[in-house]
């Protein structure tokens, strides 16, 4: 490992100690650290850096010569960092200075240990599926950022009324969901918005996506797991003239009756899993599976 990129939320600094620990540890191993420009300027303004570092501010500033992209924050930070990586095949390692952290799994107290594991090759690479969106088979409304690591969500706009989402899989009609919206989630996104809408947890290495309705009018409308090579076609009907499509944290407005096409992206995101981490371990710790707090003493 010779060169890395570092990305953090540019609007706040809440992990000064962790940032300094990361940079110091990388410097000890003669690793050059490039820092995202807005995040770097925030660090400079807060006097959180002891020396100058090269920066990056755009997808084009990175290339395959970078060994790792470190993120400092929570899962939302990783979702934003993905827009810099795209199809460059730069692996991501997330240091969790946020809250839940299904993607950013490295504890902020284990930064040195995690870097040493990386340098010793004690890790695996987990490839994570992304989804792409088009509103016409030939024309892409969403510019070059038409991909999502977590989920694509169809949602109502400016109304309390439900919307109808006519859903076809590989050109075969499935159903018309009458609901507040519809979530198409990857295995990575199955522990996000979809989970809060009663969707299932899916292992990251599964070749599936899940369709999860949001507050459906028909109570027999349940989440459905399908193969990730399925082509999904959605036609939205709404009392308002527009509806919303979100790709992770990016949102755009689309006219009703627009046909939306969703399918698996032609590239994946590489997630670094140190040998002392696992998805099942993360589930147990984040969702408190197996924990019994009934006999705990209130302090």
Whether residue 52 contacts residue 34, with contact meaning beta carbons closer than 8 Å, is answered with: no
Name the catalytic one among 50, 61, 63, 75. 75
Q: Residue 201 CA to chain centroid, in angstroms?
A: 15
Q: What is the DSSP letter of 206?
A: -
Cα–Cα dist 268/266, whole Å: 7
Q: Which residues of 198-227 are buried (b: 16+ CB within 10 A; e: fewer)?
A: ebbebebeeebbbbbbbebeeeebebbbee
Judged by DSSP in three states, 160 sits in coil
75 is catalytic: yes
DSSP string of 230-286?
--EEEEEE-SSSEEEEEETTEEEEEETT-EEEEEEEEEEEEEEEETT--HHHHHHHH
Residues forming the active site:
75
């Amino acid at each position: 490992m010779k060169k890395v990129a570092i990305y953090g939320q540019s609007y706040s600094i809440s992990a000064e100690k962790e940032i300094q620990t990361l940079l110091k540890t990388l410097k000890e191993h003669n690793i050059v650290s490039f820092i995202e420009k807005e995040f770097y300027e925030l660090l400079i303004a807060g006097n959180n850096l002891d020396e100058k570092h090269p920066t990056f501010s755009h997808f084009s500033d990175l290339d395959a010569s970078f060994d790792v992209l470190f993120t400092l924050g929570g899962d939302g930070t990783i979702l934003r960092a993905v827009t810099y990586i795209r199809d460059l095949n730069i692996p991501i390692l997330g240091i969790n200075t946020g809250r839940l952290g299904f993607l950013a799994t490295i504890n902020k107290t284990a930064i040195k240990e995690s870097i040493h594991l990386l340098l010793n090759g004690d890790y695996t690479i987990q490839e994570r599926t992304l989804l792409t969106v088009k509103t016409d088979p030939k024309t892409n409304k969403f510019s070059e950022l038409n991909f999502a690591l977590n989920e694509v969500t169809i949602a109502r706009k400016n109304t309390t009324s439900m919307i109808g989402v006519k859903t076809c899989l590989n050109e075969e009609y499935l159903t018309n969901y009458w609901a507040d919206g519809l979530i198409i989630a990857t295995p990575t996104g199955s522990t996000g918005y979809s989970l809060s809408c009663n969707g299932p947890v899916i292992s990251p290495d599964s070749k599936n996506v899940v369709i999860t309705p949001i507050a459906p009018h028909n109570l027999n409308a349940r989440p459905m797991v399908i193969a990730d090579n399925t082509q999904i076609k959605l036609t939205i009907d709404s009392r308002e003239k527009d509806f919303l499509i979100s790709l992770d944290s990016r949102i755009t407005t689309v006219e009703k009756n627009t046909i939306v096409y969703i399918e698996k992206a032609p590239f994946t995101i590489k997630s670094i899993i140190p040998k002392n981490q696992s998805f099942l371990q993360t589930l147990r710790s984040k969702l408190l599976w197996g924990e019994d707090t009934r006999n705990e003493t209130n302090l």
